[in-house]
């Protein structure tokens, strides 16, 4: 039994190592010509723009719920005036980036994994290579870069819609004006709250793109394999986002002490 | 042995195994430039694997593959890309890019490797599709085509840049006899224009029509090589039986 557990742990570590090498290779290749700008832009549109409605709607709903919870907590201390600021800080520092990461890993991670997996099992990746096209660069690097670019933008959308949702909930209950709400919301938000938390989502983008592309390129066993790749892409990317978030938050506290 | 200068493709003692399964076992052969070489054999004997070695999609476990004297298995990425630009590959299942139209599939190599303007790319793509009888299907998506049509579209894409070497994996599989005959004629025309053809096929009449030289793989080994007439007289019973068959596709 120990041997089996040990073998499973070693296999998992080996896979983490392979994914890491895959990601590092992607970063290196991204810096070397030829550059696939057209494909990157196309994927930013596919990954970013097409995810925007999902992110906006989710942000809006999360804003409403956060506002209601914040009110329930702060009301006990007679600190209702702090509701906008509390909501904005919670959303911008943590909820917005993390939820955006998880939503994108579900929508985009599954999509990339399934698309590349299907291309692998139908020999389309081989056909690209046979056409003298670097399939790794054309398919994986472009998607990883697009994820890195799209994630901070989607996080901004999530944050903005969350704050708007919070305002609607708050104005419905207390009748607070939007000028006052936004003034209070941003009264405690500083550069150190906003930039590091938003930029860490670029790392989430790297994780989503790398894991989904790696699994797509490694797909075997036909359509069953494609389904498995799609599921594993979401599970592994979501898990790695949550785990890496711990490290990133610690790193942000270290680099930007004012946020701690 | 073919004269050194005439050789377009050489497999020199190539062996390849996938796990415990040995697919190619010390295969050595020369293919002359401007000729058609047909590779025969039962299913699973390593024919498609041989084609993938020639274009560098697979690397031999031992031995070398040379294309125009260059060792494919030792080339760097950029050099390999340059060699691949002189080759076209029709995959067994066509392997069309399913997210773009049939016409865009054919145009893809031109967009990547030429500086032609849009009008010329479209004109040449349509001409290539016309060569395989798909001139009206430019805007269709691959998913809307039958298996045989996909195969023809794949051939049009493989011919897009007028490659010096065309690797064709079962060109007549899934085609009706008339279309299969037309594809054979097209391949013969390409050969007359100087294209080197390597054709994997089970279709013996087709191989007789296209091939200047035929070879047969069995259990990873090359058991016969020569003209159709020479294979008809092979000492190997399996080769003679294969040559007598009319197996289509």
| Model pLDDT for residues A231-244, shown as the tens digit of each residue | 999 999 999 999 99
| Cβ pair A132:B77 closer than 8 A | no
Residue B2 confidence (pLDDT): 54
Q: Does A33 touch chain B (CB under 8 A)?
A: no
Q: Report if residue B143 sits inside a domain.
A: yes
pTM equals: 0.91
How many domains are contained in chain B?
1
Give the whole-number percent of chain B exceeding pLDDT 70: 96
Q: What is the CATH number of the domain that holds B95?
A: 3.40.50.300
Q: What is the pLDDT of residues B52-85, one digit of tens each?
A: 999 999 999 999 999 999 999 999 999 999 999 9
Q: Report if residue B223 sits inside a domain.
A: yes
Q: Is pLDDT at A190 greater than 90 in this prediction?
A: no
C-beta separation of B51 from B64 below 8 A: no
Q: Report if residue B27 sits inside a domain.
A: no
A111, A130, A217: which to substitute to probe chain B, counting the most B Cβ within 10 Å? A130
Q: What is the pLDDT of residues B112-136, one digit of tens each?
A: 999 999 999 999 999 999 999 999 9
Selecting from A129, A131, A134 the residue whose C-beta is nearest the C-beta of B109 gives: A131
| Cβ pair A127:B96 closer than 8 A | yes
Selecting from A119, A124, A130 the residue whose C-beta is nearest the C-beta of B55 gives: A130
In this prediction, residues B206-231 reach a mean pLDDT of 95
Selecting from B89, B92, B93 the residue whose C-beta is nearest the C-beta of A130 gives: B89
Six-digit token pair at A189? Answer: 């938000």
**Mean pLDDT of all residues belonging to chain B:** 93
Q: Is pLDDT at A215 greater than 70 in this prediction?
A: yes
Q: Give how far A126 is from chain B: nearest CA, Å.
A: 7
Q: Report if residue B133 sits inside a domain.
A: yes
Residue B6 confidence (pLDDT): 85
Question: For B81, which residue in chain A has the nearest alpha carbon?
Answer: A132
Chain B, 202 to 231: residues with Cβ < 8 Å from chain A are none
In this prediction, residues B213-240 reach a mean pLDDT of 94
For residue A194, give its domain range.
Answer: 2-259
Supply the DSSP symbol for A76: G
Q: How confident is the model at residue A259 (pLDDT cuts 50, 70, 90)?
A: low
Q: How confident is the model at residue B139 (pLDDT cuts 50, 70, 90)?
A: very high
- From chain B, pick out residues whose CB is under 8 angstroms from the CB of A133: 81, 112
In this prediction, residues A196-204 reach a mean pLDDT of 95
Structure ipTM: 0.92
How many domains are contained in chain A?
1
Q: Is pLDDT at A26 greater than 80 in this prediction?
A: yes
For residue B222, give its domain range.
Answer: 33-56+75-244
Q: Is pLDDT at A92 greater than 60 in this prediction?
A: yes
Residue B248 confidence (pLDDT): 47
Residue A28 confidence (pLDDT): 95
Question: For A128, which residue in chain B has the nearest alpha carbon?
Answer: B97
Q: Does B116 touch chain A (CB under 8 A)?
A: no
Residue A40 confidence (pLDDT): 97
Q: Does A3 touch chain B (CB under 8 A)?
A: no
Q: Does A38 touch chain B (CB under 8 A)?
A: no
Question: For B83, which residue in chain A has the nearest alpha carbon?
Answer: A132
Q: Give how far A34 is from chain B: nearest CA, Å.
A: 11
Q: What is the pLDDT of residues B20-33, one digit of tens each?
A: 999 999 999 999 99
Look at A191 and B21; give whichever has higher pLDDT: B21
């Amino acid at each position: 039994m120990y041997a089996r557990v040990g073998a499973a742990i070693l296999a998992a570590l080996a896979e983490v190592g392979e994914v890491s090498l895959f990601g590092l290779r992607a970063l290196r290749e991204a810096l070397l010509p030829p550059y696939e700008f057209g494909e990157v832009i196309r994927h930013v549109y596919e990954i970013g723009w097409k995810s925007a409605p999902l992110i906006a709607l989710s942000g809006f709903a999360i804003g409403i719920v956060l506002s209601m919870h914040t009110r329930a907590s702060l009301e006990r201390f007679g600190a209702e005036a702090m509701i906008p600021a509390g909501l904005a800080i919670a959303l911008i520092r943590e909820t917005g980036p993390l939820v955006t990461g998880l939503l994108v890993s579900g929508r985009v991670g599954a999509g990339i994994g399934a698309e590349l997996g299907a291309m692998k099992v139908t020999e389309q990746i081989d056909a690209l290579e046979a056409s003298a096209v670097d399939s790794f660069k054309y398919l994986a690097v472009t998607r990883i870069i697009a994820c890195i670019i799209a994630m901070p933008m989607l996080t901004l959308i999530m944050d903005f819609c969350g704050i708007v949702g919070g305002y609607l909930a708050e104005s419905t209950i207390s009748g607070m004006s939007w000028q006052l709400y936004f003034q209070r919301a941003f009264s405690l938000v500083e550069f150190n709250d906003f930039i590091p938390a938003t930029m860490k989502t670029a790392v989430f983008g790297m994780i989503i793109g790398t894991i989904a592309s790696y699994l797509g390129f490694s797909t075997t066993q036909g359509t069953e394999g494609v389904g498995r790749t799609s599921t594993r892409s979401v599970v592994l990317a979501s898990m790695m986002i949550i785990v890496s978030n711990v490290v990133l938050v610690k790193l942000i506290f270290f680099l930007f002490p004012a946020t701690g | 042995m073919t004269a050194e200068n005439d050789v377009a493709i050489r497999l020199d003692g190539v062996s390849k195994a996938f796990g415990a399964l040995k697919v190619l076992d010390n295969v050595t052969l020369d293919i002359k430039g401007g000729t058609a070489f047909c590779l025969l054999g039962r299913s699973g004997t390593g024919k498609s694997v041989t084609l993938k070695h020639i274009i560098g999609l697979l690397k031999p476990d031992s031995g070398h593959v040379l294309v125009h004297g260059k060792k494919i298995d030792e080339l760097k990425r950029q050099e390999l890309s340059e060699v691949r630009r002189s080759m076209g590959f029709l995959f067994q299942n066509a392997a069309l890019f399913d997210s773009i139209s049939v016409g865009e599939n054919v145009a893809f190599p031109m967009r990547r490797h030429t500086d032609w303007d849009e009008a010329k790319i479209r004109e040449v793509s349509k001409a290539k599709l016309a060569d395989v009888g798909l001139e009206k299907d430019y805007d269709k998506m691959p998913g809307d085509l039958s298996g045989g049509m996909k195969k023809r579209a794949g051939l049009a894409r493989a011919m897009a840049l007028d490659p010096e070497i065309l690797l064709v994996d079962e060109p007549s599989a899934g085609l009706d006899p008339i279309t299969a005959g037309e594809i054979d004629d097209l391949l013969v025309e390409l050969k007359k224009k100087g294209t080197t053809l390597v054709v994997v096929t089970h279709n013996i009449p087709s191989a007789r029509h296209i091939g200047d030289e035929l070879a047969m793989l069995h259990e990873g080994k090359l058991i016969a090589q020569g003209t159709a007439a020479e294979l008809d007289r092979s000492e190997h019973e399996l080769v003679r039986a294969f040559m007598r068959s009319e197996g289509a596709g």
